[in-house]
Amino acid sequence: MTDNTKEIFIAGAGCIRVGEHWGQSLRELAAEAALKALDSAPGIKPECLYVSTMSSELFAKQGSVATLVADQCALGPIPACRVEGACGSGGLGFREAYLAVASGMVESALVVGVEKMTDLLPSEVTGVLSTAADQEYEVFNGVTFAGLNAMMMNAYMAKFKATREQFAMFAVNSHKNAVNSPHAQHPKEISVEAVLNSPVVSEPIRVLDCCPVGDGAAAILLTSKKNKSSVKVAGLGCATDTLALGDRASMTELSASRLAARQAFDMAGIKPKDIDVLEAHDAFTIMGLLALEDLGFAEKGHAGKFVEDGRIGMGGELPTNTFGGLKARGHPVGATGVYQIAELYWQLSGKAGKAQVNGARYGLAQNIGGLGAVVTATILEGVK
C-alpha cells in the first residue's frame, strides 16, 4: 500500500434495535437507519451510497438492494453499490465508502448495513449462513457453519487447555454490556452456568456460545470535512484467507485477522496497547477469544486467561463489545460491521450514553466474513 494522507471523518451514524421486525420490510429497516444517520449530521448530503448485505437474495429474494435503499430514502439518482463478503459485508462496505471519499470523486459517502433474517425458518437460516463457507469443498459434505466453528473450538481447547468457563465468560461480558445498549437484541445478563448448561448446538458449542439470529440496520456517514465532535478514520486493514477451513495451515488462529489488524495499526501509527475500546466479531465464543489474540491484545493461547482476569470488562484495560457484541446486541449478518463501527463512533464522540467508556480515544472494530475468509479491521480516533 502506498501512503495515503487524506483525512476522512465520520459525521454521523444511526441504527435500529436488532430484533424480529416482522412488521417492516428490508427497505424500511434500511431506510430507518439511513435517515437516522443523515439526521445526526444535518447539512451533509451523501454523494454516493454503499449497502452491505450478506444475502438479500436468499433472505428476501431481492437483488440490487443498494438501488432499493437509495430509492426508499429518496436519495436517487445517487450512485449506489451493494457490497458483500458474507458476515464481513459491513466492514467491507465501510471500506468502500472510505475509498470513494479518499479518491476525491466524492466528498461524502453513506454506508448502510442491513439484513432481514427472521422471515425464514431457523433451518433455512442455517442454510443461508452456510453460503459463507465453501459449498463445494466443505458444506457439500454436510457440515454447518456452527460445525466449522466447533472444529476450531475443539482444536483450540485441545492445544491451549482453555476451559469451557473461559469461553462462556466472553459471552457473559457481551450480555452484561448489552444491558446498557439501547439497540441490543438481548439486553439481559447471563451467567457462566447458563452458558454451560444451555443445549448443545455442535459439541463443544452450546446455544449461549452463539450469537442470535435477528433483523437489523445501521448506517454511517463519512466525509472529507472535519466537523464538530469529529471522529477520524485512522486505520483500515483488510485481508483474505482460504474459504475452506481444511485448506489452512492452522485451525487455531485467523491469519486474515492478524494481517488486517497489522495493516490498520500501521496506517494509524499506533499499537494494540493504544486501543481503548474493542468491538470484536464474537459470532461464536471461539471467535471472541481468537480475536483477542489475532488482533494483538492477548498472547497466543492466553486469551482465555485474559478474559478470566476481567481485562475485557467495562472496568478493565480493554472494554470489549461495549454495546453487547454480536452475542447480545445481535448479528444481522451483513449489517454487523456497520453496527460495530457506529458503536465505536458513539464511544469516541462521547455519545455512548450508559455504555460510555470514559476518555476513550482509539477504538478498533474487527469484522469477519466466513470463518475468517475475509476480515476487516477499522481503527477510529476521537479528535476533539
Footprint of a second copy on 185-224 (CB under 8 A): none
Give the binding-site size for a second copy (rule: CB under 8 A).
71
End-to-end CA distance of the chain: 29
The Cα–Cα gap between 320 and 303 comes to 13
Residues 333-372 touching a second copy, rule: CB under 8 A, are 369-370
Output 68 or 157, the one with its CB closest to a second copy: 68
CB of 136 to a second copy, least distance (A): 6
CB of 193 to a second copy, least distance (A): 36
Catalytic residue among 87, 210, 211, 238: 87
383: Cβ–Cβ under 8 A, 6 or more apart, which residues? 9, 226, 230, 231, 232
Site string for a second copy, 297-336 (x = CB under 8 A): ----------------------------------------
Output 72 or 340, the one with its CB closest to a second copy: 72
The Cα–Cα gap between 102 and 285 comes to 35
Q: Are 237 and 259 in contact (CB under 8 A)?
A: yes
Amino acid code (one letter) for 376: T
Lateral strand order in the sheet of 216-223: 49-52, 108-115, 216-223, 9-15, 231-240, 374-382, 362-369, 277-279
Output 146 or 355, the one with its CB closest to a second copy: 146
The Cα–Cα gap between 384 and 100 comes to 25
Output 10 or 243, the one with its CB closest to a second copy: 243
The Cα–Cα gap between 343 and 14 comes to 9
- Provide the pairing of β-strand 374-382 with 362-369: antiparallel
Output 92 or 328, the one with its CB closest to a second copy: 92
Residues 5-34 touching a second copy, rule: CB under 8 A, are 6, 25, 27
Which residue, 107, 114, 96, 113, is CA-closest to 46? 107
Site string for a second copy, 119-148 (x = CB under 8 A): ---------x--xx-xxx------------
CB of 296 to a second copy, least distance (A): 17
Which single residue is written with the C-alpha cell 430507518?
32
CB of 260 to a second copy, least distance (A): 8
CB of 261 to a second copy, least distance (A): 12
* Beta strands, E only, 182-329: 200-202, 205-206, 216-223, 231-240, 277-279
Residue in 231, 373, 377, 380 binding a second copy, rule: CB under 8 A: 373
Residues 60-99 touching a second copy, rule: CB under 8 A, are 60-68, 70-71, 75-86, 88, 92, 95-96, 98-99
Residue in 11, 33, 114, 238 binding a second copy, rule: CB under 8 A: 238
Residue in 42, 43, 104, 359 binding a second copy, rule: CB under 8 A: 104
The Cα–Cα gap between 93 and 98 comes to 9
Which single residue is written with the C-alpha cell 502506498?
2
The Cα–Cα gap between 227 and 230 comes to 5
Catalytic annotation present for 281: no
The Cα–Cα gap between 109 and 95 comes to 11
Output 67 or 180, the one with its CB closest to a second copy: 67
CB of 22 to a second copy, least distance (A): 15
H-helix or E-strand spanning residue 96: helix 89-102
CB of 67 to a second copy, least distance (A): 4
283 binds a second copy (CB under 8 A): no
Look up residue 350 and give its three cell numbers: 462521547
Output 78 or 352, the one with its CB closest to a second copy: 78
Catalytic annotation present for 331: yes
47 binds a second copy (CB under 8 A): yes
Of 11-19, 113-121, 193-201, 254-262, the segment contacting a second copy by CB under 8 A is 254-262
Q: Could you give the residue numbers annotated as active site?
A: 87, 331
